[in-house]
Structure 1
């Protein structure tokens, strides 16, 4: 039998996975995130705890989000995919690898202390310092995340915290992800998770960070500025209802102007679709992973933090390259 396993693990081919992980290696603020989590992590060497550092488990947790892997699937991937082990810092041939229970315990640690929300805050602080996350305007929107509708499971029932929602002529079962994004960059600053039947306008004002002057939303946010929780001094630019827009008369100059204004508002609102596309298409998050809103909302905070970094990765990499010291450039 050929002894080629070591040769395979040392391959230098630049696969898409390797390129992706290399780019994220350079833009994730690892030191800040490890400092955030370490105070809550079990002390090293405690009985019954795996001897894996916070950064190793955090890297594995992020790979789960990027490649849509369950805890058991992530454990198998660490055994099967050398580039995953390299990224986690477990490339030694004789090193122990975390089990799915170790991966699960780390996720529960993040959930218990609501650290996913702080991960989003930490990432956004970095982006704000780089001038990438502005405060003048916000775009709000929501998307449906499907949940299993079958009752053929251990409990014999659907998740009681998920509900049906009708979109167009089709019914969907699951939850809603509500987000507020920067109107300039499309980066997410606020995340809320609700059952699928919760009306978008009910969450509208909770998606604001408090410093914006103008907010954009689709027709589902009509009346947001008149709700009891509406914030003073904020101007809402909400889309006209589709039926009223179709009724505009193109031969009427005023209606033509109204149509142009609606088109401009739509071009701003389009920014909110970018992070949804990243988590659904790039990261493959089209179905909820867990039962209950709390766990799935915590995951959404992590996913949108990572989507923010993904969307501006080239800017962050280029800015780091520009501030390298001359000694590094001459090496």
Structure 2
């Protein structure tokens, strides 16, 4: 066969390429195709990815598996649902570089194995770090100020399963007058860009304030937090962390509402309320990553059991949310 002969495309692909409308999915995938640092992320995973051997089926290409894994995160799909979606969608097959006339879609078991590989070697956290390094090189991630906050992620509370029990690593907590069962995602966010630089994952009953030392990267000079972090600067673990980094931090922690209401009416109360409003305007940036992960990537409930698996997924989700939030600046 002549190697210079033109490559024939399938009838389905030819018909798809001839359509006039560009779907929202195509637009989204096209943008993310341009902003994801594929080569840098492959370098993170490659030392742990199985190599082709003389026996057995050769492993599927690393980039194809990484693209399939990202599709799973962007659209909030289970392993089997991702496989079905790629078979159903020409846009997803184009993104993964799959022509069904020549190759099949990686099955759900292969994707599950890839996911377990990332979890076993803590590679999603390494990818979050690598993406943030790239963003710092581009001048999109600063280090002078940090916003800290946490959000609740629900876990299945049903006991109608094989073990007849809820996930033992998840717990319940009360927020307002409502009880929640699941986990907490605690994040440290860059003040200027709203990008996540640090993440910890705990059960829902762990206090927000206890995770603060782990959310600071050690270079910031100011920290903003809501009223759940009142007194954080006096905690022994926080003082030890700052001393270890030879760090001095200016704290901007919201006052509790009842503290403001107790103030007598007058200029002092007006000034205090104005200052709290200014702090709230700065803290608002911490909600942007939560919005992307929960509302755009549809991550509102845990899919896996245990904190380790969910922490791995959350690291990847927030890494992808960082890219999504600055997609305009990163695209050529």
Global fold match (TM > 0.5): yes
Equivalent residue for 1:179, pick from 177, 187, 194: 187
- After superposition, residues 115-130 of structure 1 pair within 5 angstroms as 115-130=123-138
Residue matched to 1:328: none
CA contact (8 A) 1:78 1:85 kept: yes
Aligned to 1:324: none
Deviation at 1:159, TM superposition (A): 0.1
**What is the CA–CA distance in structure 1 between the aligned matches of 2:54 and 2:180, rounded to whole Å?**
46
Looking at structure 2, the residues matched to 144 and 108 of structure 1 have their Cα atoms a distance apart, in angstroms, of 24
The TM-score, its normalising length taken from structure 2, stands at 0.91
Aligned residues of 2:51 and 2:59 also touching (Cα < 8 A)? no
Indicate if the aligned counterparts of 1:248 and 1:259 stay in contact, CA closer than 8 A: no
- Listed as ranges, the matches of 1:96-245 within 5 Å are 96-230=104-238, 231-232=242-243, 233-245=248-260
Equivalent pair of 1:176/1:195 in contact (CA under 8 Å): yes
Equivalent residue number for residue 51 of structure 1: 59
C-alpha separation between the residues in 2 aligned to 1:189 and 1:234? 17
Runs of 5+ in structure 1 lacking a partner?
321-331
2:50–2:59 contact (8 Å) kept in structure 1:
no
The structure 1 residue matched to 2:22, chosen from 14, 21, 24, is 14
Can you give the 5+ residue segments of structure 2 that lack an aligned partner in the other structure? 1-9
Query: Matched residue pairs, number?
Result: 315
- Give, in whole Å, the separation in 2 of the partners of 1:114 and 1:123: 15
What corresponds to 2:82 in structure 1? 74
Question: What residue is the counterpart of 2:4 in the other structure?
Answer: none
Cα deviation code 1:298-318 (max 9, x no counterpart): 10000000000000000111x
Q: Indicate if the aligned counterparts of 1:181 and 1:189 stay in contact, CA closer than 8 A.
A: yes
Give the drift of 1:78. Answer: 1.3
Structure 1 residues 46 and 201: CA distance shift in structure 2, 3 A: farther
1:38 partnered with 2:46: yes
The equivalent of 1:268 in structure 2 is 282
Indicate if the aligned counterparts of 1:50 and 1:102 stay in contact, CA closer than 8 A: no
Paired residue secondary structure (2:223): strand
Distance change (3 Å), C-alpha of 1:32 and 1:71: same
1:166–1:172 contact (8 Å) kept in structure 2: yes
Pairing 1:295–2:317 present: no
- The TM-score, its normalising length taken from structure 1, stands at 0.92
Q: How far did 1:247 drift?
A: 3.3
Kindly indicate whether residue 95 of structure 2 is the aligned counterpart of residue 95 of structure 1: no
